[in-house]
Every structure is written in structure tokens, then in C-alpha cells.
Structure 1
Amino acid sequence: MELVNIEKLLEKYLAAETTIAEENNLKAYFSGDNVAPHLEEYRAMFGYFSANKNEKFTKTIQLKTQKRNWKWLSVAASIVLLVSVYTGYEKNQQQKAEKIYNETQMAFNMLSANLNKGTVAISKLQEFETTTNKILKQPK
């Protein structure tokens, strides 16, 4: 009858449903000499738990307390800030230069168009003068 009870307790233990008292019964059974042959594989597991229960860590743990060097962090932040301001300034200057270039280009295009109109008018005037001289037969 005890073997059937141990097998049921073992199934409950593997399903993580046992109480502390039931686990103590399993430990007592597997630490004894009369373990059923088909349950021999669990003897090592329960023996390990019993042996390591009393094991304690005796070495001291040294915690490393690292002091952050905030001075270097502030220097790095300042450098990042300066670089970003410089690149922003350069980009702004480039945009201003492009705007001025486009405005100058537009002014030159207007000037060219007006000069072309003047050239056409002068050529018509030249043609009028030539025709007038022919009619009046005046030498140049």
C-alpha cells in the first residue's frame, strides 16, 4: 500500500501540487534503503536536494561601487551640443546662400528679358532709320 501512495505523491510532486509534508514523506522514502527498483532514478534527485539543503555560501561578496565620472559626461555633452550647433549654423548659412543665389538668378533673368526687349526695339529703330534714309535719299 505504501508503494502506491509513494507513486501518487511522486506524480503530484512532478506536477508541482504537493505540500511540504508530502515532500518530506517523499524525501524520507527516497533516503531509506527499501526503494522500489522502478523508482531508483528519483533517489539521486531527492538525495541531491537533501545534501545541498545544508550547503552554505561562505565567501564574501565584494560589490564594486563605480563612481560615475560626471565631468567626462558633461564634456561629452558639451561637445555634442557644439557639433550640433555648428552643423545647424552651417545648414542655415547654406540655405541663406541658396536663397540669395536664387534671388540673384531671378534678377539676372529679368534683366536679360528687358535687355532682349530693348535690343528688339533698337533693331526696329535701326530698320526705321535705314528706311527713312532710303526714302529721303540721305547718306549715312
Structure 2
Amino acid sequence: MVLNNIEKLIEKYENGETTLNEEAQLKHYFSQETVAPHLEMYKPMFNYFLLNKQEQFTKNVPLKTKKTFNYKWISVAAVAVLMLGFYLNSNVLNTNDCNELGTYCEPEQALNEVSKQLAMISNHFNKGTQSVNYLNTFEKGAATLGYLNEVENTTNIIFKK
């Protein structure tokens, strides 16, 4: 009868429906030397709960906290100062002459300069392509070698038979 009661309590315990008194009964049953063989697997768990209940925390807990300096506000202030500096600097530069930054105030002048630069780049690219033209000759020679390999393969077939 006691074993039946323990099995019902274990089932309730696994479902999370036991009361504190029922858990105490389970702990008492599994702390004994003799336990039913099919319930042996629960014995280490309930013995652990009994031993864990006796443990105590012995270290000192400091109640006063150390005052730490919050460095976040320094970084926020530094970013604000930098942003203000960039804003003021950009306003000063906008009022000055356009040629200070290497830009052109007149669109026609800028177009002429871009046209010169693109012509120079095109000239350099054309020189590079002239030096690579010999690759076409190489491709023709490789194609001729391919034909010679085919002729050699056919002659090998003829003479082997």
C-alpha cells in the first residue's frame, strides 16, 4: 500500500502537482536504505535535494557599492564637440572661393577639365591594347597545333591497325 502511494506521489511530482508535505514524504522515503528496485533511479535526485538544503552561503556580501566614473558622458561630449566643429567649418568653407577645395565655380570649366582627363585615360588604354595584340597571333598558332594533333591521332590509328 505504501509503495502504491509513493508511485502516485512520484507521478504527481513529475507533473508538478505535489504539495510541500507530499514532497517531504518522498524525500523521507528515498532517504531510507531500502527502496523499491524500480524506483532506485529517483534516490540520487532526492538525496541531492536533502544535501543541498543543508548548504549555507558563508561569504561576506558587500553592502556599499564603489562609485565609478561614467565614461559614457565624456564620449557623448566629444562627439558633440566634433559635430559642432564640422558644422562650423563647413559653413566657413561655403562662404570662401570655390577654387580653395580644387573645385570649379563655372560648369563649363569643369566640363573642359573632365574632358581632358578622360582623353588622357583613353590614350593610355589604347597604348595598353596595342601591346596585347600579339595574343591574336598566338591564338592562330595554337589553332594550327590543334589541327596537327588531329592529323597525328588519325595516323596513329591507321598505323596501329
Q: Aligning the two structures, in what range does the TM-score lie when normalised by the shorter sequence?
A: 0.5 to 0.7
User: Number of aligned pairs?
Assistant: 106
Distance 1:44 1:73, change over 3 A: closer
State the TM-score, normalized to the length of structure 2. 0.53
Distance 1:74 1:4, change over 3 A: closer
Letter in 2 for 1:81: A
Letter in 2 for 1:26: L
Aligned partner of 1:112 in structure 2 is none
- Structure possessing the higher relative contact order (Cα contacts under 8 Å, 6 or more residues apart): 1
What is the percentage of aligned positions where both structures have the same residue?
A: 43
For 1:32-77, what per-residue CA distance to the aligned partner results, in whole angstroms no more than 9, with x for missing partners?
122101111111111111122121111213367232326x665544
Q: Where do 5+ consecutive residues of structure 2 fail to align?
A: 99-104, 108-161
CA shift for structure 1 position 93: 3.3
Is 1:82 the counterpart of 2:64? The answer is no
Say which SS state the counterpart of residue 65 (structure 1) adopts: coil
Is 1:23 the counterpart of 2:35? The answer is no
Matches within 5 A, 1:109-128: none
Q: Could you say which structure has the larger radius of gyration? A: 1
For the aligned residues, what is the CA RMSD? Answer: 3.2
Is 1:36 the counterpart of 2:55? The answer is no
Letter in 2 for 1:54: Q
Deviates more, 1:31-40 or 1:90-99: 90-99
Distance 1:86 1:53, change over 3 A: same
Is 1:14 the counterpart of 2:14? The answer is yes
Letter in 2 for 1:11: E
2:73 and 2:37 map into 1 onto residues whose CA distance is 70
State the TM-score, normalized to the length of structure 1. 0.59
2:78 and 2:61 map into 1 onto residues whose CA distance is 39
Aligned partner of 1:54 in structure 2 is 54
Distance 1:73 1:2, change over 3 A: closer
For 1:59-99, what per-residue CA distance to the aligned partner results, in whole angstroms no more than 9, with x for missing partners?
213367232326x6655444322211111122333444588
Q: Where do 5+ consecutive residues of structure 1 fail to align?
A: 107-140
